[in-house]
Amino acid sequence: MGCIELMDYKILQSRVSFKECREFILSTCKEVYEVEPGYQLFEIYLIGNPPIFVGVEGDDVIFPYVKPCHGAFVLKIKGPDVIERLRSERTAKRQ
Amino acid sequence: MRKKALILLGCPELPIQTGIALYLASRLKDAGLEVSVAGTPTALQLLTVADPHGYYVDKQHLLDLDSCIKALVEKRIAIDLCAVVVHNDAGVSYLATVRHISGAKLVALVLGHDAEALAAEIDCECEKLVAKAVHNPQSAKQRIDALFEETERWAV
Give the C-alpha separation, B128 to B109, whole Å. Answer: 6
Select from B12, B97, B123 the Cβ nearest to the Cβ of A47.
B97
Instruction: Sort out which chain A residues have CB atoms less than 8 A from B118's CB and list them.
Output: none
pLDDT category, B1, cuts 50, 70, 90? Answer: confident
Kindly write down the DSSP assignment for every residue of A26-95, as one continuous string: HHH-SEEEEE-TT-EETTEE---SSSEEEEEETTEEEEEEEETTTEEEEEEEE-HHHHHHHHHH---SB-
Q: What's residue A4's pLDDT? A: 82
pLDDT at B34 over 60: yes
Per-residue pLDDT at A1: 47
Nearest to A69 among B13, B93, B123 (CB): B13
Question: Tell me, what DSSP letter sits at residue A8?
Answer: -
CB–CB of B101/B77 below 8 Å? no
Cβ proximity of B69 and A38 under 8 Å: yes
CATH 2.60.290.11, applies to B4-155: no
Of B21, B43, B48, nearest in space to B107 by CA: B21
Helix axes B89-101, A18-28, angle to 10 degrees: 80
Q: Tell me, what's the pLDDT at A2? A: 56
Say if B97 is an interface residue toward chain A (CB within 8 Å): yes
pLDDT for position A3: 76
Convert the pLDDT of each residue in B57-69 to its tens digit: 999 999 999 999 9
The verdict on a CB contact (< 8 Å) between A72 and B93 is yes
Residue B91 with chain A: CB contacts under 8 Å: 68
Task: Report percent pLDDT > 70 for chain B.
Answer: 96
Mutation to test the B interface, candidates A69, A70, A73, A74, most B Cβ within 10 Å: A69
- The three-state (H, E, C) secondary structure of chain B, written as one string: CCCEEEEECCCCCCCCHHHHHHHHHHHHHHCCCEEEEEECHHHHHHHHHHCCCCCCCCHHHEEEHHHHHHHHHCCCCCCCEEEEEECCHHHHHHHHHHHHHCCCEEEEEECCCCHHHHHHHCCCCCEEEECCCCCCCHHHHHHHHHHHHHHHHHHC
Distance between CA B56 and CA B24 in Å, rounded?
Answer: 9
Q: List the single residue in A40, A48, A67 with the smallest CB-CB distance to B96.
A: A48
The answer to whether the CB of A30 falls within 8 A of the CB of A82 is no
- Residue B151: pLDDT band (50, 70, 90) is low
**Chain A: which residues have CB within 8 Å of chain B?**
2, 17-19, 36-38, 40, 44-50, 66-72
CA distances from B23 to A30, B17, B83, B145 (A): 48, 10, 12, 10
Interface A-B: count of C-beta contacts within 8 A:
70
Q: State the average pLDDT over residues A5-34.
A: 96
Q: Where are the domains of chain B?
A: 4-155
- Looking at residue B98, its pLDDT comes to 98
Of A19, A48, A70, the CB nearest to B97: A48
Distance from CA of A47 to the nearest CA of B (A): 6
In tens, the pLDDT along B77-127 reads: 999 999 999 999 999 999 999 999 999 999 999 999 999 999 999 999 999
Polymer length of chain B: 156
Helix axes B138-155, B17-30, angle to 10 degrees: 20
